[in-house]
Structure 1
Amino acid sequence: MKDSKTVLLIVDRLDKGGLAHVLLTLACGLLARGHRVGLALLENSVAYPLPEAAWLRINEAERPSRRWRHAAFRREVTGFARQAISDFETEHGKADLIIAAGELAIRCVPPIHHPRIVFSSHSSQLQAAKMSGLIGQLRLGFKRLRRGWRLQRLLNGRHVHVVSDGLAKELTGSLKVRPASVHVIYNPFDIDAIREAARQSTPESLKRLRPFVIGIGLLTKNKHFSRLLEAFAASGVDGDLVLVGQGGDEEALWQLARAKGLDGRFEIVPFHHNHYALLAKASLLVVTSDSEGLSNVLCESLIVGVPALSTDCPHGPRDILGGIDERALVPLDRIDLLPERIHSLLDKPYDITDAMVERFSVDKVIDQYLALIDMLDE
């Protein structure tokens, strides 16, 4: 392989969320190592500064609100992606690697049969059953058949990347997709930059004068922060509970906090520029989701030296916390264990070693992405 590679990242959008952070970290890491990088955004939604050295194209077409227009919109996105690849290669030469990341990319880029494309999935296609009992399982089974058929049509015979072993098993097992190859590569984290940010003081971190447990993420049903709130109240521990995020469940969570007698001990802090400073002051991070692709916040928690506790949900938490401490994962059918686990991990937190976090370092992850080029050359 020549030293400098040409990499194009085709991504749905770069707004709030884990995928945007992952792709920008990857882009900046590749640029820092002297590679040529392009970004092609399938939707015009950007919430982060973009690297100035990266080649850039943004699709200006708006996603339609009417469902009957979605098929036409996806065709427009396919055309944009095809033109972006052509323009990028005209300026920088043939691409060594093209990563198509995100749900829209996975639906719209497969008609483009470029030999260097790897499709990148960062989230579960099935998640957990949304209803309990037989009806919930029947609906999940129907979803498995429908999603499986669609993904088989899109990804059979193509090269695929996923961010956890659990997602790989879901794709090839439950969904019966038969890719040409499947590669598990964790999300990249700039460990030194995160730790430096964690050492800073922010208005949000300076307010925390008492010990606290923290949860970070969108305040939506899938994240189930109500579980964390109920478990914290039942644990009997001292200190506060702080949630970092925003979303449609915010008012319901405030009402639940009042009902559980947590007045003065519960706070919701909106997403802000540097949540690492606040996370680093916490005694414990807790994730209570029904589904995670990998869970960036679990990785970030270990990086800044804060023990993490999570539901053992599909699919990423086990990749991160499995084998660290038996108390760190709670089965979804044993949510009743959460209060005791919170109490236990606050009383006797587990040790966090360098080996636990180095596997997520940006350099290690970039090496794995670049290794895909050798695979495509074979």
Structure 2
Amino acid sequence: MPHVLLVIDQLTSGGAPRSVLKLTRALLESNIRVSLISLSERVALPIPEGAEWHVVAFTPASRWEKLRRYQLHARRLDAFLASHTTPFNLVVANLHQAHQVVSRSTLAKQAWYCLRSDPWQELLSNKRGWRRGIKRHKVRRLYDNKRIIALSRTNLESLGRIGSQPQATRVIPNVLHVENIHRLMQARIAEPELQDTDFCLFVGRLNFRSKRLDRLLEGYLASGIDLPLVVIGDGENERLQQEVIRLGLQDRVWTLGGRDNPYPYMRQASVLLLSSDYEGLPNVLLESLACDTPVVSTDCLSGPRDILVGELARGLVPLEDTQAFGRTVRDIIEHPPAITHEHIAPYLPQTVSAAYRELME
């Protein structure tokens, strides 16, 4: 049985750790042995049954250790691996800390490095002047001559923009467990007022910097539609309420907070809206399509353009064109595109598992 090692920063929270655990489940279902290594003691998410998992953490005890933390952490990882002699057919490092540590370890040449967000946006967008130049050099040194997995084609284009020259690249998206989504979306919506109502929907972290909730509200207002907007997510709720009041949308926007199961809302929504400045590969778009609900999204880095193809590309709008966002919302509601099996087939567990199996050959 082939054996895959997945190394990740932490398994506590966040979209990337959850995506790695979905991948773990898909690989196990394909009769592939999976070992997980968390580089942090923070492990709160449920580990799929059948997976082997370990914690190899390192906490710097001094300023000197902090400056050399990646190298020292790599030594600890190497010591752990030396005590576990089972060979791996494939090693995949996930997230930036894992990339830094694995690249300094004995796994460096064997590993693939999976980019789970847009590298330019995550690593360089907040740098200016000479600081950006230094950071660009560090990123290039990290990824040059490495084997890179990206969730989307636009992730790879972003790495090229930095100037990195990988040894090999593959695009392998996140896993979408459609059967599980179809089961969960059958539940009844908790709010009686919404149970028989058409509405627009936003699902995600309430973060103004990345999700651009100001653009979401302004685009919704520009659409001129009568449907309410339902917002599901936790985060900057107070600031969101201030924007709702500023735009006079108090009677039209429902803020529900977080929901463990958003799929009944996705199933009933007329359209799902995404207004982000950047993404990794936005799972929420895939989940909405799995619920047979069309999407309007900014054409941001990175992922929406890879997901919304064919007729679904009508739902893509330029980043800074709020009026176009509004027009597209109205158009998609009035003339919804057909969502077919081909739109979600690349993200099915068996498809993604087969792509990882090919890396072992």
> Quick check: TM above 0.5?
yes
| Equivalence for 2:203 | 216
Distance in 2 separating the partners of 1:81 and 1:267: 47
User: How many residues are aligned here?
Assistant: 359
Q: Does 1:146 align with 2:143?
A: no
Q: Does 1:323 align with 2:317?
A: no
Residues 300-347 of structure 1: CA deviation (Å, up to 9, x unaligned): 111110101111111211001133344211111323311111111111
Q: How far off its partner does 1:292 sit?
A: 1.2
| Equivalence for 2:82 | 86
Contact 2:312 2:339 in 1 (8 A): no
Map of 1:322-361 to 2, 5 A cutoff?
A: 322-361=309-348
Distance 1:237 1:24, change over 3 A: same
| Equivalence for 1:127 | 121
| Equivalence for 1:242 | 230
Bigger shift: 320-329 or 16-25? Answer: 320-329
- The structure 1 residue matched to 2:103, chosen from 97, 110, 127, is 110
Using the size of structure 2 for normalisation, the TM-score is: 0.91
| Equivalence for 2:352 | 365
Distance in 2 separating the partners of 1:303 and 1:113: 41
Q: What SS does the aligned partner of 2:320 have?
A: helix
Contact 1:42 1:80 in 2 (8 A): no
Map of 1:156-171 to 2, 5 A cutoff?
A: 156-171=144-159
Distance in 1 separating the partners of 2:60 and 2:198: 44
Distance in 2 separating the partners of 1:224 and 1:95: 42
Residues 162-186 of structure 1: CA deviation (Å, up to 9, x unaligned): 1111111111x21111111011111
Q: Does 1:196 align with 2:190?
A: no
Q: What SS does the aligned partner of 2:137 have?
A: helix
Distance in 2 separating the partners of 1:129 and 1:29: 29
Bigger shift: 108-117 or 73-82? Answer: 73-82
Map of 1:223-302 to 2, 5 A cutoff?
A: 223-247=211-235, 249-302=236-289
| Equivalence for 2:46 | 49
Contact 2:267 2:291 in 1 (8 A): yes
**Among the aligned pairs, what percent are the same residue?**
29
Bigger shift: 121-130 or 20-29? Answer: 121-130
Distance in 2 separating the partners of 1:23 and 1:128: 19
Q: What SS does the aligned partner of 2:311 have?
A: coil
| Equivalence for 2:73 | 77
Distance 1:303 1:62, change over 3 A: farther
| Equivalence for 2:19 | 22
Residues 174-217 of structure 1: CA deviation (Å, up to 9, x unaligned): 11111110111111111111111112235369854421111122
Distance in 1 separating the partners of 2:255 and 2:302: 26
Gaps of 5+ in 1: none
Q: What SS does the aligned partner of 1:324 have?
A: helix
Distance in 2 separating the partners of 1:348 and 1:54: 45
Distance in 2 separating the partners of 1:205 and 1:274: 16
Contact 2:278 2:302 in 1 (8 A): yes
Distance in 1 separating the partners of 2:299 and 2:252: 27
Distance in 1 separating the partners of 2:211 and 2:63: 26
Contact 2:309 2:343 in 1 (8 A): no
Bigger shift: 105-114 or 341-350? Answer: 105-114
Distance in 2 separating the partners of 1:83 and 1:287: 44
| Equivalence for 2:298 | 311
* One-letter identity of the residue aligned with 1:77: H
Distance in 1 separating the partners of 2:288 and 2:63: 39
Q: What SS does the aligned partner of 1:332 have?
A: coil
Using the size of structure 1 for normalisation, the TM-score is: 0.87
Distance in 1 separating the partners of 2:123 and 2:195: 37
Q: CA RMSD in A?
A: 2.6
Gaps of 5+ in 2: none
Q: How far off its partner does 1:148 sit?
A: 2.6
